[in-house]
Structure 1
C-alpha cells in the first residue's frame, strides 16, 4: 500500500511552492521593470537627440534660405512669399546628408547668380572714350 501524506503536511508543501513561485515572479518582474526603465530612458535620450538634430537642420536651412533671399534681393521679378514647408514626399536622409544637400543647392544658386545675365549680354556695350 501507498503511504498517505497527512493533509497538513501536503498543505505546507503546496504553500511553500506557492511562496517560492511568488518570490521568483516578483524578482523576475523587478528585473524586467528595471530593463524596461532603462529602455525607456534610452528611448527618451534618442528622441531628445533626434529633436536637437532636427532643430539644427531646420536652423541651417533657415540660414541658407535667408542668405538665398538676400542674394536674390535684386531679382525684383521673383516673388517669394516665404520659406516653404518641408516636403513630406522627399526621400529620407540623415541630418548630415540634408545639410550637405541644402548647402550644395545654395552654392548652385549662388554660382548661377554670379554668371552674366542674359539680358545684359543683349544690351549694346558702351564705347569707352579714349
Structure 2
C-alpha cells in the first residue's frame, strides 16, 4: 500500500471517529438538556410546595394567636422560623403535625368555652 493511500485511510478513520464523537456528544447533550428541564420543573414544584406549606403554617399560627389573644397570662410570640435541619422529605409529616396541634388547640378552646356556659 502506498503512503498516500495509508494516509487517506488514517484520515478517513479519524474523520469517522470525530463524527461518531460529535453524534454521541449531541445525543448526550440532548439527554442532559431534557434532564435539566425536568430538574428545573421539579425545583419549581418543590418551591411552590414549600411556599404553600409555609403559608399554611403561617395561617394556622395567626389563627391560633387570634384564639389566644385574650389569654393575658399567655406570652404570645411570632411564628418561629423553619428548622434548617428539617428534611424536605418529611414535609407531609410536619404539615400533619401542625394540623394535629391546631386541631388540639381548637378542641381545647371549644371545651373551655363550653365549660363556661
* Cα deviation, residue 91, structure 1: 5.8
Q: 1:65: which partner in 2?
A: 61
Structure 2: segments with no counterpart, 5+ residues: none
CA deviation digits over 1:2-51, x for unaligned, max 9? xxx11000000000000000000000000000000001000000000000
Large movers: runs of 4+ above 2 Å: 87-100, 113-117
Count residues with an aligned counterpart.
115
Q: Does structure 2 conserve the Cα–Cα contact (< 8 Å) formed by 1:68 and 1:106?
A: yes
Structure with the greater alpha carbon radius of gyration? 1
Q: 1:17: which partner in 2?
A: 13
Structure 1: segments with no counterpart, 5+ residues: 122-130
Given the alignment of the two structures, is residue 111 of structure 1 paired with residue 107 of structure 2, yes or no?
A: yes
* Cα deviation, residue 93, structure 1: 4.4
Does 69-78 or 95-104 show the bigger shift? 95-104
Q: 2:32: which partner in 1?
A: 36
Normalising by structure 1, report the TM-score: 0.79
Given the alignment of the two structures, is residue 99 of structure 1 paired with residue 95 of structure 2, yes or no?
A: yes
